[in-house]
Structure 1
Amino acid sequence: MRFDNKAVIITGAANGLGLDAAHGFAREGARVLMVDRDPRGADAAAALAAQGYDVRFRAADVTQDADVRGYVAAAMQAWGRVDCFFNNAGIEGHVRPLIEQEEAMFDAVIAVNVKGVFLGMKHVLPVMLAQGGGAVVNTASTAALVGSAGLGPYVASKHAVLGMTKTAAGEVARGGVRVNALCPGPTDTRMIHSLEDQAAARGANDVAERYKAAIPMGRYCTPAEVTAMVLFLCSDEASGITGGQFQVDGGRTACPGGSAWR
């Protein structure tokens, strides 16, 4: 029970990595505020609460300052503190060459993936500094470390998340607050299957097989494997770790061509 009575906020919590992390934190004793603009998050939170966990839901658009202030205020009203913040909400945008990307979609990806992360830290970090400690994990991606053809806006946004993470880590370290970046590779969630479908719609064949072939482990990571890293980075076991970037990617960034040893 590494998070017994710890207060946790998770954005993008209605599905995918955020939802799996909510289950993980709850199982380890945390009090969890699940944040999402998708109303299905309310049902997910209610299901966890029905199991006896202290889990609540707050509808919010992470690109809106008032909504971000609202979810932080909700956590403070419920528990009086924020010990861990999984700053996770993100969207993938369209799969197409950079010169074909639409300005509106570029703006949407930057708004959620960059502005949303910025606003979350802007309003959570002062709380953590005031209470003398806390841990933030920002969801970046392996796309924060390398390029990815067809995903220009997404890649740009995740490089920005990594830069903000390192900057924030240096600014708040003396206040007892740690800030790290999570860099998942292809993971078995809605997002990777959306990318598969978009690539297939543009004429690509055997998309999933080719994606997996580029991963040395030969498969997508599971949400549970990513959650394990989130929980570690938020735990006291990671007390000396800040400003880092942590891949959970099956070796994809270490050996981008996959493995010949099968």
Structure 2
Amino acid sequence: MKNLLDDKTCIITGGCGSVGLAAARLFLSEGARVMLVDLDDGRLAAAKASLGSDKVAVFKGDVAESADVAGYLAATNGLWGPIDVVFSNAGNHGHIAPLADYDDDAFDRTLRIHARAAYLVCKMAPPYMNDQSSIIVTSSLAGLRGGAGSENNIAYTVAKHAQTGVVRAAAHAWAGRGIRVNSLNPGPIDNPFQTSIENQLSAVTGRNITQAIDSDIPLGRHAKPEEVAKAALFLASSMSSFITGHVHVVDGGLGS
């Protein structure tokens, strides 16, 4: 039986995080070749070893630096030829503080890591990509609403909204080549990234934010990284061949 990503070349940024690694495992199981991009050589080496496949390569780079983006695109193309999927998944959790006390530099850094990185990949990747290929940008449920808590992490909320704008504009820019550009917007995920955000919000608000979130999610729990990876696989594969410029929410019903 044919796999969903047989002979496809895929890049995953933020490849050492829980969602990046879960996506890498899933993409590999569906026949892909995978380039992992992240900031730390040690973590990249460990991630590659954990995947146990000769179809994995790694690249150390900053997704908000155009030279590094050009570097990982060229490295992937040089190794395996034209690219079929770019999963732009890298990010940070921003800076937790009330709006009146928010740090201006932290605001700028967060916009750079999320919005600028999405812009760069949507601008620079297509010349290295096959027609009928796919770009996926990891945003967040925070990119679709404000909601309680957003006032304590305004940079993250703004940056995730900005990514949606990048995706929608880029979808039109590359539609003539059949390159699909979509946004993947998870709700809370059971991983260290989300735990760090929730612990900081709990400290600022004096409430147990994790318990509060779970009580608000109709399915009653945070997502598993593997569940988000499955949505990324759908957007990476030909199953999403007529979907572009859209937001795909994986949130257990939280935003409904």
The answer, yes or no, to whether TM exceeds 0.5 is yes
Query: CA–CA distance in 1 between the matches of 2:252 and 2:96?
Result: 22
Q: 1:166 aligns with which of 156, 165, 168?
A: 168
Tell whether the 8 Å contact from 1:5 to 1:31 is kept in structure 2 after alignment.
yes
Once the two structures are superposed, what CA deviation does each residue of 1:242-261 show, in whole Å capped at 9, x if it has no partner?
1110100000110xxxxxxx
List gaps (5 residues or longer) in structure 1: 255-262
**AA in 1 matched with 2:136:** V
Aligned to 2:114: 113
**SS in structure 1 of the partner of residue 152 of structure 2:** coil
Once the two structures are superposed, what CA deviation does each residue of 1:96-131 show, in whole Å capped at 9, x if it has no partner?
222211011111101100111111122112222xx3
Aligned to 2:50: 47
Query: CA–CA distance in 2 between the matches of 1:106 and 1:31?
Result: 35
Query: CA–CA distance in 2 between the matches of 1:101 and 1:38?
Result: 28
How far did residue 53 of structure 1 move?
4.1
Aligned to 2:72: 71
Query: CA–CA distance in 2 between the matches of 1:137 and 1:117?
Result: 9
Aligned to 1:126: 127
| Equivalent residue pairs, number | 250
Tell whether the 8 Å contact from 2:16 to 2:47 is kept in structure 1 after alignment.
yes
How far did residue 46 of structure 1 move?
2.7
Tell whether the 8 Å contact from 2:74 to 2:128 is kept in structure 1 after alignment.
no
Q: 114-123 or 78-87: which moved more? A: 114-123
Tell whether the 8 Å contact from 1:4 to 1:28 is kept in structure 2 after alignment.
yes
Aligned to 2:231: 229
Tell whether the 8 Å contact from 2:93 to 2:156 is kept in structure 1 after alignment.
yes
Query: CA–CA distance in 2 between the matches of 1:23 and 1:205?
Result: 36
Superposition RMSD in Å: 1.2
**AA in 1 matched with 2:190:** D
Matched, 1:143 2:145: no
Aligned to 1:14: 16
Identity %: 39
TM-score relative to the length of structure 1: 0.92
Relative to structure 1, the CA distance from residue 38 to residue 102 in structure 2 (aligned partners, 3 Å threshold; closer, same or farther) is same
TM-score relative to the length of structure 2: 0.94
